[in-house]
Chain A
């Protein structure tokens, strides 16, 4: 699978900085995308509005692609504590992304159990 992904974890307060941020680009595109890193943030940030709206409409933590911009899909996953995992991807791959979210959720829970970790602070 090639395609670029952008993953970000956002705390549930509006004013806190993103908790975690990561980009994964296919090798050949690594340089060309460098100038557009801010675009991912813009998209993820704009999608938050829809995530906030959609999470009350679904019983699942995993929200299917909530937003779409040009070729970019935005999938989201909202934990019970309203941590919002957001994934930008340019290929449709719901199962993979869902599994990824679940894995990240497990990891995040383990991390959050650390008594020295202050919730919503950057990891």
Chain B
């Protein structure tokens, strides 16, 4: 039962997406083009996030530690 209501909810969410971006009105090949473009963009953004965000977070963490601490971690070694 939960799976069915979950599926219905996801289908309803998909319908809302279609209505807001007006892909409800598009012909099938236009929909294909639009979704391909969107999914490509989304995948690229997620991949960039996966590669760069951990590095940025560790660097920021060390910067703030250096700013507020200034202790024995002067010679900090960067983990590759």
Q: Do A and B bind each other?
A: no
Residues of B in contact with A (beta carbons under 8 Å apart): none
